[in-house]
Structure 1
Amino acid sequence: MPAEGAPGGYAPGPDADIAVVGGVYREDCIRPSWHEIYGSAGRAASAMAAMNAPVVLHAYADAVASGVLEQRAVFEGFKLSLTPIDQCVGFEYDHGLATPRVTGAEQSHAPLHVRWSKVVRFGLIEGDAVVHAEKAVYDPQSPGNPVPFGANGSTATSLALVLNAYEAMTLSGSARGTPAREVARKLIESQQAQVVVIKQGPRGALIDDGTSVETVPAYRTTTVWKIGSGDNFVAHFAARWLHEGRNAAEAADLASKATAYYCESRGFATQAVLQADERQSIHPSAQYLGGRLPTIYLAGPFFSLAQLWMVQQARHDLRSMGLTVFSPYHDVGHGSAEDVASLDMQAIRQCDLVFAIGDGMDSGTLFEVGYARSLGKPVVFYSESPEASRQKMLAGSDCDIVSDYVSAIYRAVWAACEL
């Protein structure tokens, strides 16, 4: 919405509209298969439009992305203000928890400038966004080096920061292990924020609005589609806080429910969907909330490159979510049958639960699963090629059988945190 002579190069936005400013990116995932154009801002615009929030999307876009967004905007009911570029950034994932390969990020473009009453701003790869707002929601979208909202000259009379735990610690200058309440307080003081939301995985989200601190839960799903879940949370928080005027804790709780729906369906929740949704929240145990890290036994074959890759992936993802992992390949290695079996069985006795990689129905893995169940240990059994006739004993002994990798990892984490 350019206007000559307007401060910052843009006319002030209508009070009713919300400017969503950020990236529009190509997204490709091998498994589950996914090939779409969304990105943080593109996804947020769709999610907010589904909630009947009036949205104007400000982003860089190449010719292909522009064509997709123009059709989507007409169909979903949001507006566009696109800055043309030669090529959009792309993200290529092996799976939803994998670190993506980023393409097309070599060129940095002149910053977007947006002056609007209500703004949702995401961090960008291919440029920057300088915004001036009455009320703003900011997600830095940076796994390595989150940038403060005002570092590029952006201003907001009332600012809400939505951060993951790492971003919150980094922006606040807090040491690892600092309680989230203390981190949030530092952010309010150092970043001139009125609201801080810190996402904490299965612990839910902590919300500090300057006068009180509350925690809202994460909600359970049968499957987990991870890509874009954080974008969806920000979008629904903003729709509730910016558009509906709800308090920050209520907005965050509704955003958590909407994100659970997104993770389960890959779709954007509407008001009717959320009113009918009665899903259960995750209930971390007092021990887990007190800092105890459950130990998970990683069972699976490691006799080929593909098997070793899978074991390595699962170990990395479980550890990154805060679990202590015992992996026979990493912690015992190859050896005689007597030595390996005794060490592995001892580890199963000492663990809290088992994550089993079951494709191929490896005999050693099945023995480990059976031994764990005989001890009453919970088992999450991940297998993409299930044969019902071969899994009767697994199902009958109450193993949690999951056919999607990312969903299996999350199911293991949720089971662990509730012990």
Structure 2
Amino acid sequence: MFSIIGGTYYENCKFPTWDELYGSGLRACLALESFDVDLHYYTCLTASARERVNSLLESKNIELTAFTSNSTVEFYYLHGLSAPRIINNTNTPITERVEVENALVFGMLDANIIVNGNRIVYDPQAPLEPKLFSENGSKCESLALVLNSYEAKSLTKKSTIDEAGKALLEESDVVIIKQGSNGASVYTDGEISNVPAYKTSNVFTIGSGDVFSSIFSYFWLEEGKTAHESASLASKATALYCDSKALPIEAKKLEKVEKLYDPLVRAKEASKNQYDVYLAGPFFTVAEYWLVNDIRSCMQNMGLNVFSPIHDVGTGRADIIAQKDLDALNKSSIIYVVADGSDIGTFFEVGHAQSKDIPVIIFSSLNLNHSETMLTGTGCEIFYDLTTSIYKTAWKVFEG
């Protein structure tokens, strides 16, 4: 019996539209439906949610143990890369003890589950205040940590991913550090390896880490594959989910992923350009400035060096500002364009970039219709999903 311990939460996103009851634990269970494994799911549920989840899992032969909760934690996202607004997040989570053999354990907002197990995969699910598996008294014979780069650095107080990974090996047998658009790094005793991300057509990130942890756990705990093999399969499963939002993950499709999507292959030499991305877009209203500022933050969180005219030059005499902006554009690897507002200055920058053979990626929240002709006809890439456009930009920069 393979156990999954995690949260069942309500998720809502405005762009793209998403309104579902999932959470890390429930999503991890449903991801494995097509795999040959008996599952036992431990979670917290209200009376109304219990009826809904119990009915769902009974039809899938997943055993449910639900601790009583007074409210369901709810996550609200503006877009896939935004920090969620969380409501019904209790300051006094319930405490329960669980005995398991092999399990995937997620950090939970509504419960403090003390686990006693044999082989455990632990995903802290808390980028701001992550906790070690043993911090609440949990114990196991063998532990794999699966966490993102922010959690790894926060737990270890290290400045680099490799330093954090090596430090976390003092607490576990295996460490997997997920890095979003840049794949994942695998740390075992005396060995470090990397697993690529796959360049999907669409990128839906909400819950992608849950899918990664679920598939990794299955292959590492149940199939006995190595940490690197398990992480590689998990990355492929994550690509399928990000591209389609669909669950369960079809086990047979994993071997076809490399035929569907190209793996990210980072350039061997660093770019000679001063900036990775020139961020072009109007910034004259509160809404326009907010969007440019948010995109810039998302890109910087991916490790991109971004030049933004309003942030890096500001306002002033037109002849001085324009020249400084164009000088920076000439030193950039790619131009990312916010097309909302159809700003004349922004499209002047597009034309300048085209004349210098600088790749152009365009984001628009509205359909450009006939306006696409000259853009797509000259090689510009246009995306109507914000998260996808930012990932596509990062991948193009990383590959050089």
Instruction: Write the distance in 1 (CA, Å) between the matches of 2:48 and 2:280.
Output: 44
Instruction: Write the distance in 1 (CA, Å) between the matches of 2:321 and 2:359.
Output: 22
Q: SS in structure 2 opposite 1:30? A: strand
Aligned residues: 397
**Which residue number in structure 1 is paired with residue 109 of structure 2?**
125
Q: Which of 51, 56, 61 is the matching residue for 1:67?
A: 51
Q: SS in structure 2 opposite 1:237? A: helix
Instruction: Write the distance in 1 (CA, Å) between the matches of 2:374 and 2:131.
Output: 52
RMSD of aligned residue pairs (Cα, Å): 1.8
State the Cα distance separating 1:389 from its structure 2 match: 1.6
The residue type paired with residue 298 of structure 2 is D
**Which residue number in structure 2 is paired with residue 274 of structure 1?**
254
Instruction: Write the distance in 2 (CA, Å) between the matches of 1:294 and 1:53.
Output: 48
The answer as to whether partners of 1:295 and 1:323 remain within 8 angstroms in 2 is yes
Q: 1:372 to 1:194 in 2, by over 3 A?
A: same
Q: Report runs of 4+ in structure 1 exceeding 4 Å deviation.
A: 290-294
TM score, norm. by length of structure 1: 0.91
Q: Which of 209, 213, 233 is the matching residue for 1:254?
A: 233
Instruction: Write the distance in 1 (CA, Å) between the matches of 2:37 and 2:274.
Output: 40
Q: 1:294 to 1:228 in 2, by over 3 A?
A: farther
TM score, norm. by length of structure 2: 0.95
Q: 1:293 to 1:351 in 2, by over 3 A?
A: closer
Q: SS in structure 2 opposite 1:99? A: coil
Q: 1:160 to 1:380 in 2, by over 3 A?
A: same
Structure 1 window deviating more from structure 2 (98-107 vs 203-212): it is 203-212
Instruction: Write the distance in 2 (CA, Å) between the matches of 1:276 and 1:71.
Output: 32
Q: Which of 343, 353, 368 is the matching residue for 2:334?
A: 353
The answer as to whether partners of 2:220 and 2:230 remain within 8 angstroms in 1 is yes
**Which residue number in structure 2 is paired with residue 338 of structure 1?**
319
Structure 1 window deviating more from structure 2 (200-209 vs 233-242): it is 200-209
The residue type paired with residue 82 of structure 1 is A
The residue type paired with residue 270 of structure 1 is E
State the Cα distance separating 1:291 from its structure 2 match: 12
The answer as to whether partners of 2:123 and 2:146 remain within 8 angstroms in 1 is yes
Residue deviations 1:129-179, cap 9 Å, x none?
A: 1111110000111111211111111111111001111222232342x13x5
Instruction: Write the distance in 2 (CA, Å) between the matches of 1:291 and 1:242.
Output: 44
State the Cα distance separating 1:367 from its structure 2 match: 1.0
Instruction: Write the distance in 2 (CA, Å) between the matches of 1:115 and 1:294.
Output: 52
Residue deviations 1:290-333, cap 9 Å, x none?
A: 99985211100112222112111111111111111111112222
Residue deviations 1:45-95, cap 9 Å, x none?
A: 111223233211101111232122122213433221001111011111111
For residues 214-363 of structure 1, the aligned pairs below 5 Å read 214-268=193-247, 269-277=249-257, 278=259, 279-288=261-270, 294-363=275-344
Instruction: Write the distance in 2 (CA, Å) between the matches of 1:293 and 1:116.
Output: 52
Stretches of structure 1 that go unaligned for 5 or more consecutive residues are: 1-16
Stretches of structure 2 that go unaligned for 5 or more consecutive residues are: none
For residues 11-410 of structure 1, the aligned pairs below 5 Å read 17-174=1-158, 176-177=159-160, 180=162, 182-189=163-170, 191=171, 193-268=172-247, 269-277=249-257, 278=259, 279-288=261-270, 294-410=275-391
